[in-house]
């Protein structure tokens, strides 16, 4: 069952590899480019999430899986990870301001 579902043309994997490589090169280039910090973080995080999505969708074949499986794992992971960041980061900012006035 799963074997039939994940059978793909190997050429498509090398296209994804090219895209991942291109995104990495763009990130390295931007790392040296002068720009406002907020914009830098937004661009880097967007590129990171795009790369992660490409790996999960195509290399890990999540795109071809049943929507139940996609929803269970992706939503669970994203919601839990978001909670962790949402709980930790504001507290870090609070302590930073407390220590540094």
Partner 1 sequence: MAEAAATTQDRWGGGVCPFDAGWQKVMMWMFIVTDGLLFGAFLASYGYMRFMSNSWPNQSEVFSIPFIAAMTFVLITSSATMASAVAAANHGDKATVGKYLLMTIVGGALFLGMQAYEWTHFIQEGGRLWANPWGDPMFGAYFFLITGFHGTHVLSGVIILAILWLRWNKGVATSTGVEMGGLYWHFVDLVWVFVFTCFYLL
Residue of 26, 39, 45, 63 interacting with partner 1 (CB under 8 A) = 45
Six-digit token string for 65:
């899986």
Number of residues counted as binding partner 1 (CB under 8 A):
53
Q: Least distance in Å: CB of 34 to partner 1?
A: 13
Helix (H, G, I), strand (E, B) or coil at 56: helix
Q: What is the total residue count of the chain?
A: 101
Cα dist from 18 to 10, 13, 68, 100, whole Å: 13, 9, 30, 45
**Is residue 1 involved in binding partner 1 (CB under 8 A)?**
yes
Indicate the angle between helix axes 37-54 and 10-32, nearest 10 degrees.
Answer: 170
Which stretches of the chain bind partner 1, using CB under 8 A? 1-10, 13-14, 16-17, 20-21, 24, 27-28, 31, 41, 44-45, 47-48, 51-52, 55-56, 58-60, 65-66, 68-69, 72-73, 76-77, 80-81, 84-85, 88-89, 91-93, 95-96, 99-100
């Amino acid at each position: 069952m799963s074997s039939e579902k994940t059978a793909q043309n190997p050429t498509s994997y090398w296209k994804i590899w090219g895209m991942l490589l291109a995104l990495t090169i763009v990130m390295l280039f931007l790392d040296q480019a002068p720009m406002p910090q907020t914009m830098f973080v937004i661009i880097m995080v967007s590129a990171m999430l795009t790369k992660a999505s490409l790996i999960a969708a195509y290399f890990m074949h999540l795109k071809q899986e049943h929507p139940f499986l996609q929803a269970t794992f992706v939503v669970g992971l994203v919601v839990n990870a978001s909670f962790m960041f949402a709980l930790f980061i504001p507290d870090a900012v609070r302590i930073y301001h407390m220590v540094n006035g």
